[in-house]
Amino acid sequence: MLARKVIVQLRWRTAAEGGRQVPPSGPRYSTVASFDPPTPNWPEEAWSVVVEPAPASGSSGFTLSFLAGDRAPQHVLQPGVRFELLEGTRVVANGEIVDDAVPVAAR
C-alpha cells in the first residue's frame, strides 16, 4: 500500500491547556500521534507523523502523513478519525482527518 497524506484540521492547545507556548514555526513538524480508536499496542508501538501546512486551506488546514511511510498503519488515515499530537506524554494538539489527499512516494 502506498503511503498517503490526508488533510486534517488541527487545534493547538494553549500553554494554559498543557500544550505549547506557541505552535511550531517550521514548515514541517514531526511528533507522535495517538488515534481514536488507538492503534493496536499503543503506546508500545507508537507511530510518528509529519504535519505540514496544506496549501490554500487556511490557518488550521494541514496535511498529515506517517514518518515511516507505507510501513505504518495507513488504514487509520480515514476522514472522521480524530487524533492527538503528543510531545512525550503531553498532548499539544487535537485534530481530525477531514479529507483524503494524494498518495505520496514511500519514504
- pLDDT higher than threshold 90 for residue 2: no
pLDDT at 17 exceeding the cut of 70: yes
Angle in degrees, CA 39, 41, 46, rounded to 5: 70
CATH number, domain of 65, equals: 2.40.30.10
Which cell numbers in the block locate residue 25?
514555526
Q: Quick check: 93 and 35 in contact, CB under 8 A?
A: no
Structural domain range at position 50: 3-104
Domain count, the chain: 1
| pTM, full prediction | 0.86
Tens digit of pLDDT for each residue in 86-106?
999 899 999 999 998 766 655
